Amino acid sequence: MTQDRKVPPCLPDSEVPETRAFRQGVVTSGDAPLSGDAASGLIRGLTRRRVALIAGLAPFLPSVGLARPKTHGSPTLHHPATGAGAGPLHAPAVLRNAPPPRPLVMLDPGHGGKDPGAIGYSGTYEKHVAEAAATELERQLMASGRYRVAMTRTSDRFIPLEGRVEMAQAHRAELFISMHADALHDASVRGASVYTLSSAASDSQTALIAQSENSADLFGGPHVHATSPEVQQILASLVSEETRRGSAHIASSVVASFQSRLTLLSHPQRHAAFVVLKAADIPSVLVEMGFMSNRHDEESLRQAGHRAMVAGAMRDAVDRYFASARVGMG
Ligand SMILES: [Zn+2]
């Protein structure tokens, strides 16, 4: 099922783009190999996280509260009692003045290693464009001083989709941004677009992109399994409403930032069952910066200046996202 193909280590302009259609044709909806073990492993992983979350809340559960010495009634996280004699409970000044911790943004350059991603009209590899753009966005976010940034990869190596999500979980990321420049069958289609997780695709073009993205794990060999549509649906349904709102918020924020600076795909905010967006508790978005199958998009994405402009627009979107999240928290 997986075709054996050699991937040159670097990015020669002369690379024959005859493999362009490869990623789109590699999987059909009926033949995604998924062992029962892989499926239950995914579900187990999510269940474990839920258990961990509940365990983390234990100090706030009533049963634990009852074990505390009764002094001024039940413990409260809000204002102290105002009645006479009830000494107000001031938070230490050092805590009140401490700046809020900088949120961690996880950047995920798509593909890598033996998975080249889409191969451009003139031979550019998506994996290289994705890494270069993510590195630029990392630089800009760090330079702002407002965020901590982690990357799923900083070199040309293969990481299974599930591993990318687990990295975001391990880092306790508050935002996950996957960066891509895929290929479409229609080479005339160009422009940037932004995707969030959903069990059903918003349109057939998006369904094909998701299918192609989700097949990335096939490059991992027989021990890494792609996820079946059924399991993807279960995973999508486990994402919380709050996470879904956060994902929609960052998606519309990125589209708004792109609007004045970049060519956009028609209806640029779309959704489908992307495995890499399935973290149940981290707002996640996948950004297609353009399409490798279009010669104009490929040419633009090869330019460092263009990538810096794309990254700048995304940084602004991240700024807006966290600014309004803070306002929302009151
Ligand atoms: Zn991709």
Ligand 1 centroid to 287 CA: how many Å?
9
Q: State the distance from the centre of ligand 1 to the C-alpha of 117, rounded, in angstroms.
A: 5
Tokens of 299: 């040419």
CA of 118 to the centre of ligand 1 (A): 6
The C-alpha atoms of residue 224 and residue 218 are separated, in whole angstroms, by 7
Contact 294, 189 (CB under 8 A): yes
6 C-alpha to ligand 1 centroid (Å): 19
| Cα gap 236→131, rounded to integer Å | 27
CA distances from 54 to 50, 103, 172, 234, 237 (A): 6, 22, 16, 21, 19
| DSSP bridge pairs for 109 | 179
CA of 213 to the centre of ligand 1 (A): 6
Integer Cα distance of 79 and 97 in angstroms: 17
Q: How far apart are CA 16 and CA 120, in angstroms?
A: 9
Number of domains in the chain: 1
241 alpha carbon – ligand 1 mean position (Å):
26
pLDDT digits over 111-160, tens only?
999 999 999 989 999 999 999 999 999 999 999 999 999 999 999 999 99
pLDDT tens, the chain, 330 aa long: 434 444 333 343 333 333 333 343 333 333 333 343 444 444 444 444 433 333 333 333 333 333 333 333 333 333 333 334 444 555 555 566 777 789 999 999 999 999 999 999 899 999 999 999 999 999 999 999 999 999 999 999 999 998 999 999 999 999 999 999 999 999 999 999 999 998 889 999 999 999 899 888 777 765 555 566 666 666 666 678 889 999 999 999 999 999 999 999 999 999 988 988 988 789 999 999 999 999 999 999 999 999 999 999 999 999 999 998 776 543
Compute, in angstroms, the gap from residue 63 CA to the centroid of ligand 1. Answer: 48
CA atoms within 13 A on the CB side of 68: 14
Ligand 1 centroid–CA 212 distance in Å is 8
Residue 59 lies in a domain: no
Q: Is residue 5 one of the residues assigned to a domain?
A: no
**Strand, coil or helix: 194:** strand
- Return the CA Rg of the chain: 22
Residue 282 lies in a domain: yes
Q: Does residue 89 fall inside a structural domain? A: no
CB-based contacts of 100, cutoff 8 Å, min separation 6: 326
Distance 162 CA to ligand 1 centre (A): 15
Give the domain CATH number at 214: 3.40.630.40
Residue 167 domain-assigned? yes
Please state, for a pLDDT cut of 90, what percent of the chain lies above it. Answer: 52
Q: What is the pLDDT, as a whole number, of residue 199?
A: 82
Going from the Cα of 173 to the center of ligand 1, the distance in angstroms, rounded, reads 21
Decide if 16 contacts 124 (C-beta within 8 A). no
* Beta carbons of 158 and 112 less than 8 angstroms apart: yes
How far away, in angstroms, is 67 Cα from ligand 1 center?
A: 52
pTM of the model: 0.69
Residue 11 lies in a domain: no
Tokens representing 210?
Answer: 């998701």
How far does Cα 320 stand from its chain's mean position? Answer: 17
In a domain, 297, yes or no: yes
* 185 within a domain of the structure (yes/no): yes
- Sign of the torsion angle spanned by Cα atoms 246, 168, 287, 302: positive
Distance 180 CA to ligand 1 centre (A): 4
Look up the domain containing 198 and give its range.
97-328
How far is ligand 1, taken at its centre, from the CA of residue 76, in Å?
A: 48
Determine the Cα–Cα distance for residues 108 and 150; give it in Å rounded to an integer. Answer: 9
With beta carbons less than 8 A apart as the criterion, state whether 141 and 319 touch. no
